[in-house]
Chain A
């Protein structure tokens, strides 16, 4: 692929004429690019518009076909076989099957080979089906279409997979780029386009890309006809943030950088179309290079199961050793005198002269013989069960999202039961918790808050107080409580203003409930996208009637003028749509439009507003000349515009973070500071993102002086430029007059707070990992109740030591600072812990980078685990993955990562369970995930219902599997004691084969698929049940050992009973005595009855399917025996007519069966009865409550227990309500009885009545 040197003459020139923007990061690369081109790593050549040149060597590049499948037609067989036999159990059975072909094995070959082929075949079939689904998904992506140039300026639609390097494509607005493209031109004159890279890095803001000047003119289909150029650039690499290359066009060379490169899977936004040349295709693209092979995950239970298998293997080896040793001893001592064996003739297994050799041979034979201890069909049954579980999960209507028409998909089925054991959830923010949509919610203008209604926490808290009060009073004096009537306890309005509680009769509560629901509905459905504001005082121009209308107008003007957006024509009526760099600005513009100040036009220097005029009541069009725009940056945290009005007045309008604005206020501009800041606090608690607005008028002379300073700063070239600009803006952004604040809600997805609340109650910890700014992250933390005002918040941030020292010193210093921060926080926790104070930890990206270094990470994680919520902001995708790994390793608990974008792929793959949100358009997260959800809220049902069920099912199933194989396998061993350890098998070969495959497989599958300890609604009501999974009590070693012992006891009872019942005397009236075949068949019958009745005792949920499978399996055994016995004796061997002629006619056979089944199940039955009596588990008690219909008759108790079952959470909605209730109670105690007043006279009641929400 290296370009032959000297083939093309290259004239490389620095194009110094063109720099894209003043804030372009300086090129830190010391080696000039032209020196690198053609060297290793920089050998790629692309002939634009000549894709045919890339179809042959030397410039043949891979096609744009992207494949995520594991196998293809050729590799499937060898690779999947290899995968299958990597399992130690399967390998063992393979060896056993090979041995069965020799004389070594105690069985005939088919009895070992048939189950193995069956088991491996089903697993491979499953693999094939799963890979087929992956293939179909690839097909969907690969067959997306894009307009591609085919010559003569004609563009036709081609599938992505047909696009090749060198093609010129035209990508329309909101389409994804099919490969990595070089931007040639866009619909904008200056060749800019906006790109959303959410799929790559999760950042939601749009990124501007700009083409090189030379290709600016190529902005029409026709011009592509004559376009010829070549690109020399770096080889494919996974680095998303760098690109180096040269474009040779019209004999000139233009350097290329990331600013011209559009990456695959990012999306074109706010731009009608672009033209681009494909540079990298398919596997060469940066996203594909970036994607890791998804690791195959195994659940905790399965890993433990491996260890159980090892235990069983050791048992197997132990009893094999016993058998072989005993056999050898017998052979060399007594057996020589057993003349009927004729041991003097050569027999390797029983050679008195070579006891060691025979011991070894017997050992190998015993290993095969007792192989039934190892449940061969366990893996395959589990796989079948999990696939069926996944089908049930996929088909759950309650997890179907009507909005996106998607339902939950279990993409890999082998983690179902892991869902029941999750302890820590690591969640992405954008697109996962939020819908990435900003809404204007509240504002505080001139010290008055608008759009305020009761927040839900207050309502819930007061209701909780109410019910407590009612209960309290009825306990004191019932009749008195009834006569009290409606009362309210009202608190003096504190600084927040809407903190209150009232006490009323239950009837009132009911009505409040209804109304409260109405509020919620109002919150959810706003007719205008981006605007969710309800206050009559401001709507429909009402605000123009107020006295402080000037400040109101200014406030709205800040919203309408201080931004970087542009209006877009909308078909609907006279409302416009807006586009801007950040969605917040869009929300402001929409709000301003709703309030009557519409931003309708923008040219290079003029902004036009349509204003509602106060006096005439008509709409006037006013022009504002845009003089300067002081941009927003994360360090400045503010943005200002300086405009001059039509009457020549110069105004500076500023919006920004409250702290920044407040310190720049003029002395006479602070009149609303106190009220505004209290409102801001309130907004922050509700999780809104609030910005403070301010303005100032500037004298023309002052402005002119400043303008010259500013212009000078702007034109400065060099490192001091930023500093100059900063000081210049400081000069003008001062003496501001505060107008108020506006609150924007980063809209949470439907049901997110409730879901988080439930998850917290179930004992799950939620960590928020986001690439967003700290402020935004904290806002969302408040909105979804991960944070609340009374939590102790710890902020870990790296202290920027800008200045002296080299890098390593700076890092060292930062590390020191961080460690001391961590230590002080840890101490704080220890002090506060006694007060049951919840903690929250907020970490930013830079601090995290240091905190995750190997020597600090333990301290950091110890602190983080202590905190009830952890929020990490400014986190890179790599860090997300790293945190996930460290948390997983440090806590040793099950982690679940949930995210929606490509930036979450790392953590999704790293976590024990990865969940992707599929509602959004990007597919990377979903492709990498194990489960995909259309909405975050379905996580609750997925974990608490399906996870819980699957965990219990799989645990029970594995335990039962172990049991059944031990029961069966040990009877074989016990029999050896009576056959002088010679390796004789008690059962017919075909009975052995049928055991796992035919006679016991279906009941256990029905257990694994359909078992429910409690129904789904009870799972929701008692989230604490979920903790059974977190503690892992259903598959603990104690249980495993108990089941092994149970199996050993049952098999002993079965074996001893049958041999004693069938000992020397005749077993039938005809005087016949039992031989091996009879004993074997009767024992086997008892085993089948016992294991199938045992599963009936294990199952607590019988549908007709379980009944059919369990009783059907027992019946099937008799049918099998009849059919097998009816075969000619050359096939049926000892089974010939065994049931019809011999045992079936003997009453003793049936009596023995009854005795053995009851006797072998009695120990388990008694144990269970005792356990349920003295140490019932939670699900037992709840089952009983349901059984006794306590939920119907004793509703009080049911509700109380429901409440108790919730873990006292420190995050989530309930926690907030708890805190509020606590707070209110304290306040009530302080203010005493004096606060009681008649409810109807209360002003709050009146406000409530008049509020539109309550109508």
Chain B
């Protein structure tokens, strides 16, 4: 036969291109379609040096501005963070913090003074921040009944709520479960130059929670009546969908250090002003070594003060630019012509890289 190399491209298909007139034969012959013959038009991108460098530079060029913008946004946020759990223990109880917090008769009031470092535009969000508190512990997360929270008729559905499902006389607890039971109960009162500073505690929870997940006809029942008292008590005359502190608390945090919205201060705070906070330090974090912080923060379009995104964008963008330069150098110093046949395995030393 003739040399195969030259003819194989046509030779492979010669007999089959002919249209066969016989109708009988055509029936069994596979129908031609570009799909079945695997000849669909396709783009075949390959990682040529040009593409690699372009892609890297493109990423760098896009990422660095985004990083700068994010970082800028984060820097613009004014944030006051004050840890108060240690300082709010009276000196006489320094070594018996647990005893102090568990004793109902001690005075838990604590005064903190915070200075506004920069102008804080309203709204200023007030958070409490807990550390080493595992709200995401499986036992904790499961211990709730969404059905019960949603409607009154389901108030006895407390399956997952153990051990806070029933009060002593088999009456269902509303809201049941460990999450509700351990509701955070520190309170903050703010004042600036002896003028009380109003904290708006409405609309601090997600709308969907208020409107769909917590019923307007569900009232607290048998709550914190048991032998062990966990956290805050609830006013049993207010329906759950208006108990926003509870709603916020019930959104379990993803990580052991978390902030939860306490309220909003809807006036601007001038720089240098001193805020006096009267804290009712009720919540027991001393048992497990958790910290408590009070946080006042403004927000930017990206949210609170968090440099991570900006830094990460800058880092990735920088790395990409660096790699782009490195690749340019590689291609200049040690170029491999595209499709250079000497890199084919059969042209290389058989002992070489046959990856």
> Which segment, of B112-120, B166-174, B311-319, faces chain A?
B311-319
In the bound complex, CA of A345 to CA of B308 (Å)? 40
Q: Is A487 an interface residue (CB 8 A)?
A: no
User: In angstroms, how far is the closest chain A Cβ from the Cβ of B112?
Assistant: 19
Bound complex: CA A1201 to CA B346 (Å): 9
Whether B206 is near chain A, meaning CB under 8 Å from some CB there, is yes
Q: Check A1133/B29 contact, CB under 8 A, given A979-B137, A1104-B40, A1188-B338.
A: no
Interchain CB contact under 8 A, B207 and A1141: yes
Residues in A whose Cβ lies below 8 Å from that of B182 = 339-340
CB distance from A1209 to the nearest CB of B (A): 12
A1031 and B354: CB pair below 8 A?
A: yes
Q: A340 and B256: CB pair below 8 A?
A: no
Question: Which of B44-52, B237-245, B271-279 lies at the interface?
Answer: B44-52
CB distance from A1048 to the nearest CB of B (A): 19
Tell whether B38 is near chain A: CB-to-CB under 8 Å.
Answer: yes
CB distance from A1163 to the nearest CB of B (A): 11
Interface residues of A in 964-984 (CB under 8 A from B): 978-980, 982-984
Distance from A754 Cβ to chain B, minimum over Cβ atoms (Å): 6
Q: Choose from A394, A456, A1071, A1207 the contact partner of B1 (Cβ within 8 Å).
A: A456
As a 0/1 sequence over residues 1167 to 1187 of chain A, the CB contacts with chain B under 8 angstroms (1 = contact) are 011011111111011111111
Chain A nearest CB: distance from B294 CB in Å?
A: 13
Contact in complex: B303, A1148 (CB < 8 Å)? yes
User: Among residues 1015 to 1042 in chain A, which have CB atoms less than 8 Å away from a CB atom of chain B?
Assistant: 1016-1017, 1020-1021, 1024, 1027, 1031, 1033
Task: Determine if B339 and A1188 form an interchain contact, defined as CB atoms under 8 angstroms apart.
Answer: yes
Interface size of B as a range: 35 or more
Interface presence of A142 (CB below 8 A): no
Interface string of B1-19 (1 = CB under 8 A from A): 1111110110111011000
B25 nearest CB neighbor, chain A only: A405
Partner of A1178, one of B30, B181, B300, B345: B345
* In contact, B141 and A341 (Cβ under 8 angstroms): no
Alpha-carbon distance A166/B129, docked complex (angstroms): 95
B193 is an interface residue with CB less than 8 A from chain A? no
CA distance A400 to B28 in the complex (A): 9
Report the bound CA distance from A1190 to B252 in whole Å.
61
Query: With A1057-B312, A1073-B253 in contact, is A398–B2 under 8 Å at CB?
Result: no
Q: How far is the CA of A1064 from the CA of B256 in the complex (A)?
A: 10
Return the chain B residue nearest A345 by Cβ: B163
Q: Are B340 and A339 in contact (CB under 8 A)?
A: no
Interface residues of B in 248-291 (CB under 8 A from A): 251-261, 264, 284, 287-289
Contact pick for A398, options B12, B42, B137, CB 8 Å: B12
**Given A516-B2, A1079-B254, A1214-B4, is A1181 in contact with B43 using a C-beta cutoff of 8 Å?**
no
What residues of chain B lie closer than 8 Å to A1077, measured between beta carbons?
251
- Give B33 Cβ to nearest chain A Cβ, in Å: 8
The reply to whether A1103 and B41 contact each other, CB–CB distance below 8 Å, is yes
- Interface status of A42 (Cβ within 8 A of chain B): no
Contact of A1185 among B252, B288, B306, B341 (CB under 8 A): B341
Neighbour of A1162 across the interface among B29, B213, B320, CB < 8 A: B320
- Take A982-B137, A1136-B208, A1181-B340 as given contacts and tell me if A1075 and B254 are in contact as well, using a CB distance cutoff of 8 Å: yes
Q: Please tell me if the beta carbons of A397 and B258 are within 8 angstroms of each other in the complex.
A: no
Alpha-carbon separation in the docked complex, A752 to B28 (Å): 24
Residues 1118-1175 of A at the B interface (beta carbon under 8 Å) = 1128-1130, 1133, 1136-1137, 1141-1142, 1146-1148, 1151-1152, 1154-1155, 1158-1159, 1162, 1165-1166, 1168-1169, 1171-1175
Tell me how far the C-beta of B113 lies from the nearest C-beta in chain A, rounded to whole angstroms: 23
Known contacts A754-B4, A1057-B312, A1075-B251, A402 near B20 by CB under 8 Å: yes
Q: Is B355 an interface residue (CB 8 A)?
A: yes
Q: Which residues of A contact B164 (CB under 8 A)?
A: 342
Q: Is A1067 engaged at the interface, CB distance under 8 Å to the other chain?
A: yes
CB distance from A1033 to the nearest CB of B (A): 7
Q: Does more than half of chain A's interface fall in helix, strand or loop, or is it mixed?
A: helix
Contacting A at CB under 8 A, from B334-349, are 336, 338-341, 343-347
Contacts of B82 in A (CB 8 A): none
List, in ascending order, chain B residues with CB within 8 A of A716's CB.
none
The answer to whether the Cβ of B327 comes within 8 Å of any Cβ in the partner chain is yes
Q: Which residues of chain B are within 8 angstroms of A1075 by Cβ–Cβ distance?
A: 251-254
* B49 to chain A: closest residue by CB: A1173
Residues of B within 8 A of A339 (CB): 182, 230, 284, 287-288
- In the assembled complex, which residues on chain B have CB atoms less than 8 Å from the CB atom of A1187? 44, 46, 48, 338-339
Q: Which residue of A lies closest to B70 (CB)?
A: A1151
Q: CA–CA, A1151 to B264, complex, Å?
A: 26
* Smallest CB separation, B255 vs chain A (Å): 5
B44-96 residues at the A interface, CB under 8 angstroms: 44-49, 52, 55, 59, 63, 66, 70, 79
Answer whether A1062 and B30 are a contact pair too, CB < 8 Å, given A1012-B38, A1020-B12, A1147-B302. Answer: no
State A769–B229 Cα separation when bound (angstroms): 88
| Docked complex Cα distance between A1187 and B46 (Å) | 8
- When the two chains form their complex, are residues A1103 and B42 in contact, meaning their CB atoms are under 8 A apart? yes
Q: Is the CB of A1076 within 8 A of B252?
A: yes
Q: Please, which residue of chain A has its CB at the minimum distance from the CB of B289?
A: A337
B303 and A1172 within 8 A (CB): no
Complex-state Cα separation, A1101 to B38, whole angstroms: 11
CB under 8 Å from chain B, chain A span 766-812: none
| Neighbour of B139 across the interface among A982, A1152, A1176, CB < 8 A | A982
A1242 on the B face (CB < 8 A) = no
Contact indicator A1176/B343 (Cβ below 8 Å):
yes
B276 to chain A, nearest CB (A): 22
In the complex, which of the residues B36, B47, B63, B252 contacts A1172, with contact meaning CB atoms closer than 8 Å?
B47
A753 within 8 A of B: yes
* A1067–B3 CB distance below 8 A: no
Cβ B305 vs Cβ A1065 within 8 A: yes
Is residue A1213 contacting chain B, with contact meaning CB distance below 8 A? yes
Asked if A460 and B146 make an inter-chain contact with CB atoms under 8 angstroms apart, the answer reads no
Contact B309 A1155 (CB under 8 A): yes
Pick the contact of A1141: B66, B208, B254, B289 (CB < 8 A): B208
Name which residue of chain A comes closest to B12, CB basis.
A1020
Q: How far is the CB of B226 from chain A (nearest CB, A)?
A: 11
**CB atoms of B288 and A338 under 8 A apart:** yes
Q: How far is the CA of A25 from the CA of B9 in the complex (A)?
A: 56
Assuming the contacts A1065-B304, A1155-B309, asked whether A397 and B346 have C-beta atoms less than 8 A apart, the reply is no
Which residues of the other chain, A, contact B127 by a CB distance below 8 angstroms? Answer: 1066, 1073
Asked whether any CB of chain B lies closer than 8 Å to the CB of A294, the reply is: no
- Decide yes or no: A941 and B343 within 8 Å by CB, A1180-B46, A1183-B44 being known contacts: no
Q: Is the CB of B339 within 8 A of A1136?
A: no
Say which residue of B289, B297, B354 sits within 8 Å of A1065 (CB atoms).
B297
CB contacts under 8 Å to B, within A992-1018, are 1010, 1012, 1016-1017
A338 touches B134 (CB 8 A): yes
Is B234 interfacial (CB-CB < 8 Å)?
no
Closest B residue to A1024 by beta carbon equals B346
- Interface residue A563 (Cβ < 8 Å from any Cβ of B): no
State whether the Cβ of B219 lies closer than 8 Å to any Cβ in chain A.
Answer: no
Please report the C-alpha to C-alpha distance between residue A1101 and residue B45 in the assembled complex, in whole angstroms.
7
- Is A1078 close to B, CB under 8 A? yes
Can you list 5 A-B contacts with CB-CB less than 8 angstroms, sorted by A residue number? A979-B138, A1073-B259, A1165-B55, A1204-B341, A1205-B346
B interface residues (Cβ-Cβ under 8 A, vs A): 1-6, 8-9, 11-13, 15-16, 20, 24-25, 28-32, 36-38, 40-49, 52, 55, 59, 63, 66, 70, 79, 123, 125, 127, 129, 133-134, 136-141, 146-147, 150, 162-164, 178, 181-182, 206-208, 212-213, 228, 230, 251-261, 264, 284, 287-289, 297, 299-306, 308-309, 312-313, 316, 319-320, 323, 327, 330-331, 336, 338-341, 343-347, 353-355
4 nearest CB pairs, A to B: A1065-B304, A1185-B339, A1184-B339, A1071-B125
Q: Beyond the given A1075-B254, A1174-B336, could you list 10 further A-B residue pairs with CB under 8 A, ordered by the A residue number? A: A1010-B38, A1021-B5, A1066-B299, A1067-B303, A1071-B297, A1183-B44, A1184-B338, A1186-B44, A1200-B341, A1214-B4
